[in-house]
Amino acid sequence: MDERTRLLDKYSARIYKNRKEHVIQLQEDPAGQEITANTRTIPGIITNRGCCYAGCKGVVVGPLKDCCVITHGPIGCGFYSWGTRRNKAQAEEGEQNFVPYCLSTDMQESDIVFGGEKKLKKAIQEAVEIFHPKCILICSTCPIGLIGDDVQSVARQTEAEYGIKCIGFSCEGYKGVSQSAGHHIANNGLMQHIIGTGDKRPAKKYSLNILGEYNIGGDGWEQERILKRVGYEVVSVFTGDGSYETMKNAHLANLNLVMCHRSINYVAEMMHTKYGIDWLKVNFIGVGATIQSLRDIAKYFNDPELTERTEEVIRDELAEILDDMEYYKNKLKGKTAGIFVGGSRSHHYQKLLEDLGVETVIAGYEFAHRDDYEGREVLPFLKEDADSKNIETITVAPDEKLYQQRFSQEEIEKLREEIPLDTYDGMIRDMKSGHMVVDDYNHFETEMLIKLMKPDIFFSGIKDKYVIQKGGTPSRQMHSYDYAGPYAGFKGAVNFAKDITMAMYTSAWAFVTPPWKSDPILVGSLTGGE
Amino acid sequence: MGANLVNLNVNPCKMCMPMGAVSAFYGLKGCMTILHGSQGCATYIRRHMATHYNEPVDVASSSLTEEGTVFGGETNLIRGIENLISLYSPEIIGVATTCLAETIGEDVGAIIRKFYDAHPDAKVKIINASSAGYAGTQYEGFFRVLRAVVEQTPMDTNPSQSVNIIAPMLSPADFRQLKKLLESMGLSYILLPDLSENLDGIHEKHYKRIKSGGTPLGEIARMAGAKYTIELSRFISEDDSPAQYLNEQFGVPFERLAMPAGIRDTDALIEKLVELGGRKTPELMRERGRYIDAMIDSHKYCALGRAAVFGEPDFVYSVIRLCCENGVIPVLAATGSVCPALRPALEEEIRKCADRQLVEKTVILDDCDFDMIESVSRELGVNVMIGSSDGRRAAHRLGVDLVRCAFPIHDRVGGQRVRMIGYGGSLNLLDQIANILLGNQEERFRGEIYDSFFETARHTGQAKKPEGTLQTIAQRTASHPCYTCGGGKYARMHLPVAPKCNIQCNYCVRKYDCPNESRPGVTTQVLTPEEALEKYKLVKKQVENLTVIGIAGPGDALANFEQTRDTLRLIREYDPDVTFCLSTNGLMLPLYAQELVDLGVSHVTVTINAVDVEIGAKIYKYVDYMGTRYTGVAAASILLGNQLAGLRYLTEHGIICKVNTVVLRGINEEHIEEVIKKVRDLGAYISNIMQMIPVAGSAFENMELVSNREISEIRNKCSVDLKQMYHCRQCRADAIGTLDNDVSIEFRGGCGTGEEQAALPVKKYAVASKSGMLVDQHFGHADTFYIYESDGTTARFVEKRQVNHYCTGKEDCLDDKQSKMDLILSTVADCSGVLALRIGNAPLEKLESKGIKAVTTYDRIENAVKQAASQ
């Protein structure tokens, strides 16, 4: 019985039927193996998924530091998404940083009965008076769509009345099947209302946007540091430490770098269509991955001076971390890991673990789609289900004035042979035979997988971290990094290596034996003896 | 004061009902909870509880989707219950609703009946509670579930000698204390709920999906037959009160008591328990005695306390009473819940306590947010906050410490072990409060007392100088205007004590008496070290934000090392905190670097224009070193070698070094990047690449300038390697004040006045001024021009004109600079002249082409205008 069979063994027929499509154990050639993803969560299973509001407010628009994000709804949702994600932000000189704030319309029973638009309008007026923001974002919670408050219309009125930017997001928690729906809704709003409204051109020759980087624990800062060292101008970051002010001009950059494909691919694609800006899938998690990404960017611009500068920076940065990395690699080589995060890190972190000689034997996503596992080539074959249909897909046309293609189709094709331009190949291709890939893990499966695969460390989130580490397996929160970071780029890699070495070698483990180290998993008995 | 006037909640001081509902269900034995609604609620709540308790928190969800909002959530809820049973086999399933389920009007009772119809042999007990997020806050959700538990459990009405104890949301450690107390008193009791184990587990070899603690269903059934109910909440409504229900349905008498924190409320509970047949053990009485002993021990520190207590009403009530008992004045009592009963319950208590120490203003708030708590706390001079970790941001901004003793605690471990009830818990809380107050006192006493009582003595030199310095290099850097872009709120003072220079740069002429020029190397007078001290004392009194003393010539600080050393020693004796900064050409650095370190200099600026001796030879006319004058490559070699060795020595010894580089057209403009890389490798912290100022009489007087735009480009290129300074103002050697507001003129003996002259035709002048008094602003930085008329003998103010200023000194203005400059030019088009502190070359030429004379000066406006008009 392989691990997959044993994992699914405990399920009732009905759950088995559902879950078997979400759990695969990789064969010799991982490419082409199918997995089911982005489907409804099974009720009653302790899922790790969040809701549409969490994806829109919590992930994508929340980090925009110069925007007042008002949660329209009862108090809970605003409260729970307040400062829980460690997306760090630093106010620009003379500008405000609203990231540490939680603003909510705090709806009461009467507002649910009689409608909350009035209260929302008054709340906006107060926000304008207190904070004088340039931009207000309204995020709706479950009751809003049900009672019929029209946040888009309130946003339009706000723009007319106060002359500031205001966007209404209908990201009620019940929409879609996970956070992913909220990402899409947020992407649409940013594309329709912010991107393209500025006219400040980048000053440098080569300019970039970093898409899908949320600056958890300062990851984005490390990426910007490296890119600036090479000589790129970073026009805007979506959205960690990002801002309305810079996002306005995002369409004037030369190239979009995509970190988290899941949460931001819509913007990348739409900007490609509308402005002709190519996007490049990068990964700044891992030393090797960072180097690869830097070289890919240089290849795109194809300027010998830039290429040389890139190599120079790589040499220099490597020299600085080499000793540390060697030390930690000695400590970590040969270990195995399991990783289960949202929609991109499970792939990204495999590269960093690889740098340290750690093999990832279990990987999975909470809310990814099939293209994140199998690559964008499966997109034409995805069937749209009822839940996805409810999320608006907006279509954009090339902008008459601003559309500009850097390369001819022929050149693009040629480039694509070398670099992942306008495409993403997914996580599965980078994994090995025998490894487990599990979509939308639940609490039960996490426990079982640890028992079956015995990883030396398991990366996950706060909700399952305690189950894992109390069971004797070191764990590290990959959503928020357990108060640490950054883990990206060169310097971040050392931080990460240090943190997981500490996790595995703490003397506290000497007092704990994980049950799977001493207990047999299958209990059998001999018969016929005595 | 209800804060209900506002519609925007800024940083909420409350959570929603489902959070409380989940917590209450966790106190039942063998219970799993499912939230009926969208899955985000369960996920968010798990996340918050897991961080606080450091335990896995399993809460299921019916995961309603858009389809569910249309057709109802029945299918999902029933499937969810089925799945919970098959994976977890719970004895009880708690179903709590969320905003979504309540808004679409789900009849959960009917759904549960359908479930039982479909599964007639199901053994699980399902309890449901209605807990819409908008219908109340956490503690209301908590009690609503407890009420549902007693309402929906089939009761056994056989009378017993048990006492029902209904507990509010306390930490697991407090639940353990409460149980220990009840047991020690020998009472038979039923505790609902019992959170003592489930959210604070012990390390076990095998992880249990359902924890073994909690109130068993069988016990709950016996509550109807108990002889009495004690409910430890004063503020829960009758509708949500389990005690009320047990009384109405089964005639169980009850009393509602406050949460037993502090001496009076703990006594009250114990007296009640004694009345019900419990006995006070000697150990309990010793605990009480120990608490009273501690109260006496701490009273001196407690009396200093001005506390803000915030959280759920029951928590706030009991903690406020504990504060009052100990003489900590709870100047602010605040709850985010709507709870009008809080004010009457606490008003008199707080008033009495405050009156004893003549504190006039105290505030009680319900329905408030942290924004309000913060502003009221600031107004009331709060010095300790007590509540959950959600107050940390406000506490941080207020600069006060926070006692974390309520749910949730996200930024510390040990939320599950908070102890604050009973004598022992009260003592623990009291110690924490007293320690914060004592700690404050210990840490701040010296500074405060010294400043308020002995300041005069200090000035006359009689008081002993305070020892030691608290500032770190990082703090010094952050408060140094030249090292922190935007450090504009701090002022610096340049002391012109070093007249001699040991090298001659081709771009420099040093004049000692020119009040009308503003650039390095210029001062009106040279001071002796003693004069410098006196001037520092004078300026320090008037310029509050003065943090930095700099020695910037007018010659070279190290070419006059004795003066420099004596000046710094004198000032250090007088003021141990001021930051020392010094600028030098670096020639004498190898000789004096260690002495600079010993003197406590933390910031050094070295001007390095080239790291190639051939280039250097073109810049430096000569170098005087160890008694010999060198020229050409030899001069440049000595200088460069010493600069680099000195820079390395300083940075290795923790000195923050800035490197100034003057860009010289045709000489080093292509070489700058190399300079920056070199100094970066040597550990320089920041680089300041600047334009040459053409000085009449210098060798480079007629050299073509490198434009601002080019400078910007060079800085951008170099910013990859080293932090760039974008805000240099190229100050005078005797500058005083912030970078943008030189006030040195106010400290000069006298200043140049234009002599009376024959009346000339009246002309208009545009003046760039920040203050409206002095010509003290750069042309490009001005967003207002003061327009004056003058005939050369008198000057008259006409009007103020606004322009959109076109240069913020940063790279971002490059694009539309041109059009904005035109805007500025049109603003001053009708003037004969423009007066500014400094002006860039491009605008200068533009102005001249329009026949407008540009005068750069630093003087009182009237004088400057008169002088300009008379020429």
User: Both B600 and B653 in a single domain?
Assistant: yes
B chain contacts of residue A70, beta-carbon cutoff 8 Å? 8
A chain contacts of residue B135, beta-carbon cutoff 8 Å? 109
User: Both B659 and B563 in a single domain?
Assistant: yes
Our answer to whether residue A183 is catalytic in this structure is yes
Our answer to whether residue A54 is catalytic in this structure is yes
A chain contacts of residue B134, beta-carbon cutoff 8 Å? 73-75, 107-109, 111-112, 143
Consecutive 10-residue averages of pLDDT for chain B (871 residues): 66 96 97 96 95 94 93 95 92 97 95 97 96 95 98 97 97 97 97 96 83 95 97 96 97 97 97 97 97 96 96 97 97 96 96 91 95 94 96 95 96 95 97 95 78 59 39 68 63 82 82 50 72 84 81 82 87 84 88 85 89 88 86 88 89 87 87 88 86 77 80 84 75 67 57 42 84 80 84 80 57 51 78 86 83 84 84 73
User: Both B711 and B786 in a single domain?
Assistant: no
Select from A50, A464, A513 the Cβ nearest to the Cβ of B39: A50
CA A476 to chain B, closest CA, distance in angstroms equals 14
Three-class SS of B714-754: HHHHHHCCCCECCCCCCCCCCCEEECCEECHHHHCCCCCCC
Q: Which amino acid is at B871?
A: Q
B chain contacts of residue A42, beta-carbon cutoff 8 Å? 63, 79, 83
Q: What is the pLDDT of residue B562?
A: 87
Q: Select the residue from B11, B134, B820 to test the A interface by mutation, using most A Cβ atoms within 10 A.
A: B134
CA A138 to chain B, closest CA, distance in angstroms equals 12
Q: What is the pLDDT of residue B534?
A: 86
Select from A123, A175, A230 the Cβ nearest to the Cβ of B8: A123
Beta carbons of B65 and A466 less than 8 Å apart: no
User: Both B491 and B527 in a single domain?
Assistant: yes
Taking the C-alpha atoms of residue A126 and residue A129, their distance in angstroms, rounded to an integer, is: 5
Beta carbons of A174 and B132 less than 8 Å apart: no
User: Both B727 and B783 in a single domain?
Assistant: no
Chain B residue at shortest CA distance from A103 = B10
Domain count, chain B: 4
* pLDDT, greater one: A163 or B737: A163
Q: Angle formed by the axes of helices B108-118 and B74-88, to 10°? A: 50
Beta carbons of A470 and B201 less than 8 Å apart: yes
Q: Which amino acid is at B609?
A: N
CA B30 to chain A, closest CA, distance in angstroms equals 16
Beta carbons of B8 and A143 less than 8 Å apart: no
CA A80 to chain B, closest CA, distance in angstroms equals 6
Residues 6+ away with beta carbon under 8 Å from B365: B1, B2, B3, B332, B333, B334, B335, B372, B373, B376
Q: What is the pLDDT of residue A361?
A: 96
Q: Select the residue from B17, B53, B63 to test the A interface by mutation, using most A Cβ atoms within 10 A.
A: B63
Structural domain containing residue B186: 17-256
User: Both B861 and B732 in a single domain?
Assistant: no
Q: What is the pLDDT of residue B783?
A: 78
A chain contacts of residue B201, beta-carbon cutoff 8 Å? 470
A37, A51, A89, A268: which one is catalytic?
Answer: A51
Q: A256: closest CA among A212, A300, A208?
A: A208
And the tokens for B497? 């004590």
Chain B residue at shortest CA distance from A10 = B87
Chain A residue at shortest CA distance from B68 = A174
Q: Flag whether B85 is in a domain.
A: yes
The edge-to-edge listing of strands for the beta sheet with A23-25 is: A23-25, A436-439, A359-365, A336-341, A457-460, A475-477
Chain B residue at shortest CA distance from A470 = B203
User: Both B530 and B605 in a single domain?
Assistant: yes
Q: Select the residue from B65, B144, B312, B369 to test the A interface by mutation, using most A Cβ atoms within 10 A.
A: B65
Q: Flag whether B478 is in a domain.
A: no
Beta carbons of A43 and B60 less than 8 Å apart: yes
User: Both B434 and B520 in a single domain?
Assistant: no
Least confident of A462-476, A512-526, B79-93, B191-205: A512-526
And the tokens for B867? 């002088």
Select from B9, B47, B100 the Cβ nearest to the Cβ of A142: B100
Q: What is the CA radius of gyration of chain B?
A: 38
Q: In degrees to the nearest 10, what's the CA dihedral of B707, B709, B712, B713?
A: -110
| Angular region, A32: left φ>0, alpha ψ -120 to 50, beta rest | left
Beta carbons of B12 and A73 less than 8 Å apart: no
Our answer to whether residue A85 is catalytic in this structure is yes
Chain B residue at shortest CA distance from A121 = B7
Q: What is the pLDDT of residue B2?
A: 38
Select from A44, A386, A467 the Cβ nearest to the Cβ of B81: A44
A19, A183, A193, A272: which one is catalytic?
Answer: A183
Q: What is the pLDDT of residue A419?
A: 96
pLDDT > 70 fraction of chain A, expressed in percent and rounded: 97
Least confident of A238-242, A519-523, B752-756, B812-816: B752-756
CA A117 to chain B, closest CA, distance in angstroms equals 11
Chain A residue at shortest CA distance from B201 = A470
B chain contacts of residue A130, beta-carbon cutoff 8 Å? 8, 10, 371
Sheet strands (E) in B11-143: 31-36, 59-61, 92-97, 125-129
Q: Flag whether B399 is in a domain.
A: yes
Select from A43, A444, A513 the Cβ nearest to the Cβ of B76: A43
Q: What is the pLDDT of residue B474?
A: 67
- pLDDT of A527 strictly over 80: no
Q: Flag whether B275 is in a domain.
A: no
Chain A residue at shortest CA distance from B47 = A463
Q: What is the pLDDT of residue B705?
A: 79
Is pTM, for the whole model, over 0.90? no
Beta carbons of B66 and A390 less than 8 Å apart: yes
Beta carbons of A230 and B79 less than 8 Å apart: no
A54, A142, A289, A497: which one is catalytic?
Answer: A54
User: Both B630 and B728 in a single domain?
Assistant: yes
User: Both B210 and B124 in a single domain?
Assistant: yes
Of B720, B747, B774, the residue that ends a domain is: B747
User: Both B857 and B809 in a single domain?
Assistant: yes
Neighbours of B309 (CB within 10 A): 31
Beta carbons of A45 and B6 less than 8 Å apart: no
Q: Flag whether B628 is in a domain.
A: yes
Q: Residue B166, SS3?
A: strand
Q: Flag whether B775 is in a domain.
A: yes
User: Both B506 and B585 in a single domain?
Assistant: yes
And the tokens for B111? 């759904």
Our answer to whether residue A51 is catalytic in this structure is yes
State pLDDT tens for residues A194-214.
Answer: 999 999 999 999 999 999 999
Q: Which domain CATH number covers B864?
A: 3.30.420.130
Of B410, B441, B472, the residue that ends a domain is: B441
CA B221 to chain A, closest CA, distance in angstroms equals 27
Beta carbons of B60 and A46 less than 8 Å apart: yes
Q: Flag whether B97 is in a domain.
A: yes
Q: A165: closest CA among A61, A56, A67?
A: A67
CA A473 to chain B, closest CA, distance in angstroms equals 12
And the tokens for A412? 């693009």
Q: Which domain CATH number covers B563?
A: 3.20.20.70
Taking the C-alpha atoms of residue B506 and residue B511, their distance in angstroms, rounded to an integer, is: 15
Q: Residue A347, SS3?
A: helix
Q: Select the residue from A71, A79, A128, A184 to test the B interface by mutation, using most B Cβ atoms within 10 A.
A: A79
Q: Select the residue from A19, A56, A80 to test the B interface by mutation, using most B Cβ atoms within 10 A.
A: A80
A chain contacts of residue B69, beta-carbon cutoff 8 Å? 145-146, 174
Q: Which domain CATH number covers B70?
A: 3.40.50.1980
Q: Flag whether B460 is in a domain.
A: no
Q: In degrees to the nearest 10, what's the CA dihedral of B234, B239, B244, B250?
A: -170
Beta carbons of B815 and A203 less than 8 Å apart: yes
Taking the C-alpha atoms of residue A212 and residue A187, their distance in angstroms, rounded to an integer, is: 11
Taking the C-alpha atoms of residue A118 and residue B597, their distance in angstroms, rounded to an integer, is: 64
Beta carbons of A112 and B103 less than 8 Å apart: yes
Q: A65: closest CA among A215, A192, A196, A209?
A: A215
Tokens 């997988």 belong to A449
CA B72 to chain A, closest CA, distance in angstroms equals 12
